[in-house]
């Protein structure tokens, strides 16, 4: 079992987002369903595959995989590799057996702030959201 570190939580969360958005891309021809929804080409909630559904919200999407729910926001230029403390917290709550310590929002926020101070992630100022992205 992986160690409960913020780095591992972020990596696993982003892996699950990629898995979910790859499914969206295969089913709809795009990872970003917002424009399809806003132009009324697809409903706000729908089916991706037999055991996968989606639900669009604001500037993001929830994808209900068979085993977990992944909630993410679309970033600038349709990026899907963004994260923030809330999304990491909700993911940790989906897999508490792996990331129990991050089901405590205060603890996660403290470690997240330290992660930012260490320069490991950045925020893109011109984005519509408060997402952070890993430094290259």
Residue 1, pLDDT above cutoff 70: no
pTM: 0.93
Residue 126, pLDDT above cutoff 70: no
List the structure tokens of 65.
């995989």
DSSP state of 83: B
Cα angle at 113 between 124 and 18, to 5 degrees?
55
Q: Over range 81-108, report the average pLDDT.
A: 96
User: For all residues of the chain together, what is the average pLDDT?
Assistant: 93
Q: Over range 95-102, report the average pLDDT.
A: 95
Residue 48, pLDDT above cutoff 80: yes
d(CA 136, CA 134): 6
Q: Over range 14-39, report the average pLDDT.
A: 95
């Amino acid at each position: 079992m992986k160690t409960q570190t913020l780095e591992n939580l972020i990596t696993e969360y982003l892996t699950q987002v990629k898995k979910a958005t790859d499914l969206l891309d295969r089913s709809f021809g795009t990872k970003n369903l917002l424009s399809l929804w806003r132009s009324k080409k697809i409903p706000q909630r729908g089916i991706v595959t037999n055991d996968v559904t989606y639900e669009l919200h604001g500037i993001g999407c929830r994808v209900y995989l068979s085993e977990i729910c992944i909630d993410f926001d679309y970033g600038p230029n349709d990026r899907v590799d963004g994260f923030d403390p809330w999304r990491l917290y909700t993911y940790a709550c989906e897999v508490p057996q792996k990331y129990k310590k991050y089901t405590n929002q205060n603890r996660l926020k403290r470690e997240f702030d330290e992660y930012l101070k260490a320069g490991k992630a950045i925020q893109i100022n011109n984005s519509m959201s408060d997402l952070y992205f890993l430094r290259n």
